[in-house]
Amino acid sequence: MSGERRVAIGVMARAPVAGTCKTRLAPLLGDEGAAALYACMLRDTLDGLLAVPAARYVALAAPVGDDTEIARRDGATALASHVFAPWEIVAQRGPDLGARLRAGFEDLAFGHDTVVITSTDSPTFPTEPLADAIATLEDGEVLAGPCEDGGYYLIGARRPSPQVLDALFSDIPWSTSEVMSRTRERCAAVGAHIREVPTWYDVDEPADYTRLLDELRAFPDRAPRTAASLMIDRG
């Protein structure tokens, strides 16, 4: 653990275009409303992560459509108006989520010893435990933030081997309730210890939206832009 840490933080993001994000909330909020909510969740995620010390902050932009050079460029361009310094934009690449996570991880690992990638689906997750975990992460150790639905809202590692990257991003049933359990199993098989930060929840379904409303009524500063968009009084 000696020496200065070079940390890179990435966020899997997309431009908040109606009909392309938070689609399971569209029946409740409408396409425009779901996109507006996502825009606030994205900004709160980016703002919140600046509390975690890092050498580089990168928004990993989803392509617009298929995984082509043009689609990647369009995705990065569309996201640009929603991202601010010190955040940079790098295009996601790869045919599926696992490939895109691995590509993002490898891009961020250049010049950095510790990489963490988060989603935008959990804008109120606490960043202090994440910062503490990063500061004490051992070489080869994995960092994960489990979700209550069986997935995870963040994944990271310090100087992982290719075998650990394979364990993290290959042969995982993405978008199922088995993602975190399979990740644990695959890391155990290659001898990689997982450090876990507090379990949190994704905001994907109407019930999650109701839970977010309740949380932000009590603690609006956890996601102030989202709280303001929901017209929650912070006074």
Q: What is the pLDDT of residues 124-160, one digit of tens each?
A: 999 999 999 999 999 999 999 999 999 999 999 999 9
pLDDT value of residue 216 = 96
**What CATH number is associated with residue 36?**
3.90.550.10
Quick check: is 59 in a domain? yes
Which pTM value belongs to this model?
0.95
Its domain, for residue 13, covers 7-226
Identity of the amino acid at 143: L
Domain count of the fold of the chain: 1
Quick check: is 177 in a domain? yes
pLDDT value of residue 144 = 99
Identity of the amino acid at 18: A
Quick check: is 235 in a domain? no
Enumerate the H helices of 80-192 as residue ranges: 97-109, 128-136, 162-169, 179-189
pLDDT value of residue 106 = 95
Quick check: is 138 in a domain? yes
Quick check: is 65 in a domain? yes
Quick check: is 202 in a domain? yes
Residues 6+ apart with CB under 8 A from 71: 63, 64, 65
Give dist(CA 158, CA 168) in Å, integer: 13
The residue ranges of the chain whose pLDDT is under 70 are: 1-3, 232-235
Quick check: is 39 in a domain? yes
pLDDT value of residue 3 = 57
Average pLDDT, the chain: 95
Predicted confidence (pLDDT) per residue in 174-194, tens digit: 999 999 999 999 999 999 999
Residues 6+ apart with CB under 8 A from 213: 230, 232
Quick check: is 126 in a domain? yes
